[in-house]
């Protein structure tokens, strides 16, 4: 049975020989140039998809995994079977950029994890969660609930967790109205508010009521009603929306943005992440399962 041989993007078979596909070769040169000049794998993939550049006969959809394979394919500098499409110097420069980005991402991940260390809670019971690392599993990192009666353990890689949080943050940046809390249902006065109200009524019924006391109690009543309403959250939401309007979507986790918007995170079964904002709003991801492709986790640079 004849074997079907894989031919890298940029090449084609002609008269039994592997030759350069010039249209695809031009795309490869563009990819290397963009990557070396600072573009991310994701942004390059999105641009090629938007321009409907074919990746194969079946699809014109690109993703960062496909871009990464091209960036890392040494065949493009030529070998015994493949003619060169790019210069070796350009290939080495792209490799150096990748190494630098990996190092930078690792350092940023450490900064992000240090920030999240005390801000991750269990979605089941609300108790704090603690990060653990074990080399016995494919996904080495996990977050364990500190409540022994709960015992929830969520296995999710550092990279994937920070990516999910970044997606949620970007959703807020693109839609600042998400920060607006739902109005609380009107409810009866609390016992404390009723007590203050009775004291005001009692003072008013006296023959010689004290104006000073009534003023003090009225202010106390106003403070109590404010505390029991969601007015402070509405004000906080208004301020937060103005701050978010000055933000731009991020490709990597931003500790500064997180501190401005988020109060804490909850982790649930399947790696479900919910971001709890400082305006008392929950922003959840749409993935119910922690589907992590090992290859893509390793190439997100």
pLDDT in tens, 25-79: 999 999 999 999 989 898 999 999 999 999 988 899 999 889 999 999 999 999 8
pLDDT in tens, 273-290: 999 998 888 998 754 333
Residue 21, pLDDT > 80, answer yes
Range 126-140 average pLDDT: 88
Structure tokens at 259: 């501190």
In the CATH scheme, what is the code of domain 11-110?
Answer: 3.90.1750.20
The Cα–Cα gap between 245 and 148 comes to: 42
Per-residue model confidence (pLDDT) at position 119: 94
Terminal alpha carbon distance of the chain: 40
Structure tokens at 198: 């009775």
Contact yes or no for 125/147 (Cβ under 8 A): yes
Residue 165, pLDDT > 70, answer yes
- Compute the mean pLDDT over every residue in the chain, rounded to the nearest whole number: 85
Percent of the chain at pLDDT exceeding 70: 89
Label residue 221 by pLDDT band (50, 70, 90): confident
Give 131-191 as a DSSP string: EEE-TTSSS-EEEEES-TTT--EEE--HHHHHHHHHHHHHHHHH-GGGGSPPPPPP-PPPH
Sketch the domain layout of the chain as residue ranges.
11-110, 117-183+249-299, 191-229
């Amino acid at each position: 049975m004849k074997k079907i041989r894989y031919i890298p993007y940029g090449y084609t078979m002609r008269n039994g020989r592997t030759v350069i596909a010039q249209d695809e070769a031009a795309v490869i040169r563009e990819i290397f140039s963009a990557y070396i000049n600072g573009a991310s794998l994701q942004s390059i993939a999105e641009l090629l998809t938007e321009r409907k550049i074919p990746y194969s006969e079946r699809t014109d959809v690109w993703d960062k995994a496909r871009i990464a394979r091209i960036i890392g394919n040494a065949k493009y500098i030529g070998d015994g079977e493949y003619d060169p499409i790019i210069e070796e110097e350009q290939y080495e420069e792209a490799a150096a950029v990748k190494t630098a980005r990996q190092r930078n991402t690792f350092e940023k991940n450490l900064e992000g994890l240090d920030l999240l260390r005390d801000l991750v809670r269990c979605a089941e019971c609300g108790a704090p969660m603690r990060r653990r690392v074990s080399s016995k599993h494919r996904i080495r990192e996990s977050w364990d609930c500190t409540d022994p009666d709960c015992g929830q353990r969520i296995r999710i890689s550092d990279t994937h967790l920070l990516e999910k949080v970044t997606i949620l943050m970007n959703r807020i940046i693109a839609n600042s109205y998400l920060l607006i809390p739902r109005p609380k249902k009107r409810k009866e006065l609390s016992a404390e508010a009723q007590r203050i109200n009775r004291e005001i009524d009692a003072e008013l019924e006296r023959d010689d009521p004290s104006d000073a006391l009534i003023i003090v109690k009225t202010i106390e009543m106003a403070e109590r009603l404010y505390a029991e309403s969601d007015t402070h959250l509405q004000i906080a939401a208004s301020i937060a929306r103005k701050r978010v309007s000055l933000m731009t979507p991020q490709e990597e986790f931003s500790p500064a943005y997180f501190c401005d918007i988020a109060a804490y995170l909850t982790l649930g079964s399947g790696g479900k992440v919910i971001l709890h904002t400082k305006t008392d709003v929950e922003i959840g991801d749409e993935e119910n399962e922690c589907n992590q492709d090992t290859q893509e986790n390793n190439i997100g640079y």
